[in-house]
Amino acid sequence: MSVQIEGAVLYRDGKLLSAEGMDPAQGEKKTIARRILDAHDAQASSPDAALLKFDAMASHDITYVGIVQSARASGLERFPIPYVLTNCHNSLCAVGGTINEDDHLFGLSAAKKYGGEFVPAHQAVIHQYMRERYAAPGRMILASDSHTRYGAYGTLGVGEGGPELVKQLLGQGYRVKRPPVVAVWLEGAPMLGVGPQDVALALIGAVFADGLLKNKILEFIGPGVAALSQDFRDGIDVMTTETACLSSVWMTDETVRATLERYGRADAYRELAPQDGAYYDAAVRVDLSKVRPMIALPFHPSHTYTIEEFNQNAPELLHTVARDAQRQWELDKTPDLTSALRDGHFHVEQGVIAGCSGGLTQNLRAAAWILDGHSVGADVFALSVYPASQPMMMDLTQDGTLNTLMACGATVRSAFCGPCFGAGDVPANGGFSIRHTTRNFANREGSKPAEGQTAYVALMDARSIAATARRQGRLTAATELADLAPEDFPEPGFNDAPYKARVAFAVGNPLPDAELRLGPNITDWPEMPPLGDTLTMTVAAAIFDPVTTTDELIPSGDASSYRSNPLRLAQMTLSRRDPAYVGRCKEIGYGSAVCALRPGDGSAREQAASCQRVLGGVANIALEYATKRYCSNLINWGMLPLLWDELETAKPQPGDVFVIENARELLLGGAETLPAVWRHNGKETPVTFRLPALSAEEREILAAGCLMNYNKNLIQ
């Protein structure tokens, strides 16, 4: 096995030893992660929780309008730390009109007015820009995107919903229970044909189902780190989000120093390593030499197999995918994937290498090397590649990589996150796409099953995607090719001339008298009432899938064009999972609730919660919450994150009513449980809801009705 899981360990003399029976108190402070956290903690006296202040923040054009609007409503005068506004999600307007460019010009005017950094469309995807410009050992960066991971530079990156960025803009800090730290011990070196996505999928597949790493920090250490290039490390690191961890960090070395020097920031380097005696709550050992080319089948990055296993069992596994699709979309029939089996081989229709995980220099060089002299063919199969930044695009042009790819039939696009969330390269109905991107949730690729459209995405590494393209769509592991050679590519180049020419650098130089440019689609948040004494909740949606993703709560793709218009976007809430939800909410008015077993896996997008609130939502009722960031979004938008241990067996239905008497008093009084009455089928049944651990501030935010109301109360 390439991945093995162990219990608590100590780092001593360059090795991991069992820590069974040892007191972790002192050793916890010797990890890289804990030392970074402590350096950013504004309340170091608390042993259990931290109040973190970040070094920099970033948002893209799906989220920054709402964040700035919320902060404005709360008295924002200037950005107190570097705040980067990138434009890599709504680069293409899926619904037409001036909406996207209006948002972009709003972002530019906000950067000027409040003193931020504005990166125009097509210049860079958010995370590559932050790697190049801001990530460095010992820092912390907060961004409104779930794949905020800069650990390979020694930076703790945290992805959260917009309200947590608003708190930083207002000087309020980021509250978090001190997270456990897990060692990810790397040893060996990858075999030829294995890339970072293969390692990441092997890790995700081994740990996700058991929730081993949920809300923890992963610390990558061990001799195998030195065997990996910076791009390889970045490609693994960004995918750690799919383990449900809070953040990640790596030991730093000469490779990191050389990378920062290439970026013109050599003075930001410092060596990071665990101190002798560092204690880890668990360890995940990864033998890089045993990792094989992987595939994550629809509809989750944890549905992993080696490509060899998939090819040997394709009919059975494709039947499972079709069955999952029918269950997910509540359809009687979906397109027959086994029709793509020809001569005993599975054929796909599309390949994509893109974004912060796939569109990196070494991945694209490896793909070009594999494809050189071959053709992707003139039939159904198509290949597209998206370098992650303009400096990367320049480097790959100068060394001939992009020429090679284009000569083979691949199309080259600018820096854009669209293939990751359904705003670019949407497959045909029944199509199967293989992608070196971050996620393959249902509908995330842009299909609309409610309208008779179904499509499928599997995750693979760029090398095996290129091998598949070389065979014109026949699914192929790169290790099957006989002519592989070591990837002894030279170090990537870096020329930031595009940034110097186009980026608006206004950090620390706000222009308070500058006007914000508001397009017709940019609207203020509607009024949100505070929590009353008696809370009456009517169930508007009941979902009993094992996990409910943020893509199901509010779809990605074309919906993203409406992210600056809360009322319009809210009409799409749950549209791909429960199309009747919005109508039910309108009938209920104020007081709707969503029941779901484990809601919130996936994106940090606050709209998964705010859209419910705009429609009158007051609570979610769950068995547990899939991620901390979704629970935080609920709290910041004034919706109670209720927990009900009997939810899975009770199965409340739309129209059921729950009533909590003295809700406000109980909440502000520190109650950890809330007694309620459940009205179902003409009967009344007493039930007890639990609350997750809430700070006094979070309780006040919930009582106020949302973070904006809470901040307005502070001003008054």
Q: What is the mean pLDDT of residues 620-648?
A: 95
Stronger pLDDT, 187 or 21, i.e. the higher one:
187
DSSP per-residue codes, 273-286: -PPTTEEESEEEEE
Buried/exposed code over 392-424 (b: 16+ C-beta within 10 A; e: otherwise):
bbbbbeebebbebbeebbbebbbbbbbbbbbbb
- Closest CA relative to residue 459, chosen from 248, 289, 310: 310
Buried/exposed code over 519-534 (b: 16+ C-beta within 10 A; e: otherwise):
bebbeebeebeebeee
Is the model's pLDDT at 44 over the cut of 70?
no
Q: Do domains 3-55+134-290 and 294-483 have the same CATH topology?
A: yes
Q: What is the mean pLDDT of residues 504-514?
A: 96
Non-local (6+) Cβ contacts of 716 within 8 A are: none
Q: Give me the helix-helix angle, 361-371 and 462-470, nearest 10°.
A: 20
Stronger pLDDT, 436 or 606, i.e. the higher one:
436
- Assessment of whether the complete model's pTM goes beyond 0.85: yes
Of 235-244, 333-342, 356-365, minimum mean pLDDT range: 333-342
For residues 245 and 152, give the distance between their C-alpha atoms in angstroms, rounded to a whole number. Answer: 15
- The pLDDT assigned to 697 comes to 92
Q: What is the mean pLDDT of residues 145-159?
A: 96
Average pLDDT, the chain: 93
Cα dist. 155→36, 138, 226 in Å?
A: 8, 6, 18
Give me the CATH topology for the region 535-715. Aconitase; domain 4 (3.20.19)
Q: Which residue do the tokens 């429609």 mark?
A: 615
pLDDT grade, residue 709 (50/70/90)? very high
Q: Give me the helix-helix angle, 628-636 and 607-614, nearest 10°.
A: 30
pLDDT grade, residue 220 (50/70/90)? very high
For residues 624 and 591, give the distance between their C-alpha atoms in angstroms, rounded to a whole number. Answer: 21
Of 8-22, 517-531, 550-564, minimum mean pLDDT range: 550-564
Dihedral (Cα; 121, 127, 129, 133), 10-degree rounding? 150
Residues linked to residue 685 through DSSP beta bridges, in sequence order: 678
- The pLDDT assigned to 45 comes to 62
Q: Which tens digits make up the pLDDT trace of 171-215?
A: 998 989 899 999 999 999 999 999 999 999 999 999 998 888 999
Is the model's pLDDT at 412 over the cut of 90?
yes
Non-local (6+) Cβ contacts of 539 within 8 A are: 592, 593, 594, 595, 621, 652, 653, 654, 655, 656, 657, 658
For residues 224 and 105, give the distance between their C-alpha atoms in angstroms, rounded to a whole number. Answer: 45
Percent of the chain residues past pLDDT 90, beyond the cut:
77
For residues 373 and 95, give the distance between their C-alpha atoms in angstroms, rounded to a whole number. Answer: 39
Q: What is the mean pLDDT of residues 591-608?
A: 91
Non-local (6+) Cβ contacts of 492 within 8 A are: 231, 262, 361, 362, 392, 395
- The pLDDT assigned to 2 comes to 87
Stronger pLDDT, 604 or 468, i.e. the higher one:
468
Give me the CATH topology for the region 3-55+134-290. Aconitase; domain 3 (3.30.499)
Continuous H helices in 195-290: 196-207, 230-237, 254-262
Of 308-312, 364-368, 575-579, 634-638, minimum mean pLDDT range: 575-579
Domain ranges of the chain: 3-55+134-290, 294-483, 535-715
Q: What is the mean pLDDT of residues 149-165?
A: 95
Chain-centre distance for alpha carbon 635: 19
Sign (positive or negative) of CA dihedral 319, 325, 328, 333: negative
- The pLDDT assigned to 449 comes to 81
Q: What is the mean pLDDT of residues 29-47?
A: 88
pLDDT grade, residue 716 (50/70/90)? low
pLDDT grade, residue 114 (50/70/90)? very high
Q: Which tens digits make up the pLDDT trace of 224-237?
A: 999 999 999 999 99
CB 691 within 8 A of CB 625: no
Q: What is the 3-state secondary structure (H, E, C) of 632-650?
A: HHHHHCCCEEEECCCHHHH
pLDDT grade, residue 285 (50/70/90)? very high
- The pLDDT assigned to 34 comes to 96
- The pLDDT assigned to 443 comes to 82
Cα dist. 435→140, 345, 424, 456, 475 in Å?
A: 29, 19, 12, 11, 12
Strands, E, within 217-324: which ranges?
A: 217-221, 247-250, 278-280, 282-287, 294-296, 304-306
291 is written with which tokens? Answer: 């990792």
For residues 392 and 230, give the distance between their C-alpha atoms in angstroms, rounded to a whole number. Answer: 14
**What class is the 294-483 domain?**
alpha beta
For residues 257 and 12, give the distance between their C-alpha atoms in angstroms, rounded to a whole number. Answer: 25
Is the model's pLDDT at 564 over the cut of 90?
no
- Closest CA relative to residue 53, chosen from 168, 191, 203: 168
For residues 317 and 337, give the distance between their C-alpha atoms in angstroms, rounded to a whole number. Answer: 10
